[in-house]
Amino acid sequence: MKRLAVLGHPVAHSRSPAMHNAALAELGLGGEWRYEAIDLAPDELEPRVRAMEGEGVAGANVTVPHKGAALSLADTLSETAREIGAANTLSFAAGEIHADNTDAQGLLDALPTSPAGKRSLVLGAGGAARAVVWALLREGAEVDVWNRTPSRAQHLCEELGGRPVESNPMDIRFYDLIVNSTSVGLRDEDTFAELPFAASDLEAKHTVVDLVYSGCPSQLLTIAAHVGASYVGGLEILVRQGALSLEIWTGRSAPLDVMRDAARARRRI
């Protein structure tokens, strides 16, 4: 049995095991591969990851709070992971750990149209925002970054590019694409009390992306749909990044519809 896993802390809530096990079953690999969630506190990460190949683990997704640490553990890095400064996909083979980042391409794959030339506002400056900013800049978008703590947006832009913006409230009429990569919406807070614009500022011309996927659709996406804007939810981005990781490990094309259904239903297969 080849093992795959998601490593996080906490990780019990993860939809990745349901999504990946459904995909493995669809590909006829369910008898050979199994995907599980492994909860690792930060001080447990390094020794456990170094032992994984010996435990039959072929690959792992990495989630909060380990994406930065996973990068520094790896023997080899993809250029994407190195430039973003975070890894969400590890592969174990021949005594080496290889780190990749599929979050950036996962976002791009989920967008309805290319962001090239689009005026984009990225909300947030944490781990998820790094992949978003990197991906949008690589595709030729103009990127402004707003964060509740402005110094973090400044720091992110110094490292990756983009322009930090501070105003709150801000005029969002200028933007084509708005990406929420904060954790606002994860709990029951009022999204528009935390973000720098009001629900009434959203227009049909906007494309709105919300990385949060716990409440689907989120308050932000509910308003986006209401005003006729196009929108993408965090679940679709989760599916797209997971599909790319699965392709790295198995070399097979991922069954997107099956992964999407399983992630939505959170089926345990």
Residues marked active site are found at 67
Question: Could you give the string, one character per residue 49-68, with x where binding to ligand NAP holds by CB under 6 A and - elsewhere?
Answer: ---------------x----
Q: Contact with ligand NAP (CB under 6 A): which of 186, 199, 227, 256?
A: 186
The conformation of residue 172, written as its DSSP 8-state character, comes to -
84/159 Cα distance (integer angstroms) = 9
H/E element holding 156?
helix 150-160
Q: Contact with ligand NAP (CB under 6 A): which of 14, 21, 80, 147?
A: 147
48/37 Cα distance (integer angstroms) = 13
* Helices 256-265 & 234-250 angle (0-180, nearest 10): 130
What is the nearest approach in angstroms of ligand NAP to the Cβ of residue 243?
11
What is the nearest approach in angstroms of ligand NAP to the Cβ of residue 51?
26
What is the nearest approach in angstroms of ligand NAP to the Cβ of residue 213?
5
The residue whose Cβ lies closest to ligand NAP is 126
196 scored as a contact of ligand NAP (CB under 6 A): no
149 scored as a contact of ligand NAP (CB under 6 A): yes
129 scored as a contact of ligand NAP (CB under 6 A): yes
Kind of pairing between the strands at 207-210 and 177-180: parallel
Environment class of residue 218 by beta-carbon count within 10 Å: exposed (0-12), middle (13-18) or buried (19+)?
Answer: buried
Q: Which stretch binds ligand NAP (CB under 6 A): 34-42, 49-57, 141-149, 168-176?
A: 141-149
> How many other CB atoms sit within 10 Å of the CB of residue 226?
10
219-238 positions binding ligand NAP, by CB under 6 A: 234, 237-238
Question: Beta partners for 210?
Answer: 180, 233
> How many other CB atoms sit within 10 Å of the CB of residue 235?
21
- Cα separations (Å) of 119 from 130, 134, 137? 17, 14, 11
What is the nearest approach in angstroms of ligand NAP to the Cβ of residue 54?
29
Residues that bind ligand NAP (CB under 6 A): 64, 103, 124-129, 147-149, 152, 181-184, 186, 194, 211-213, 234, 237-238, 241
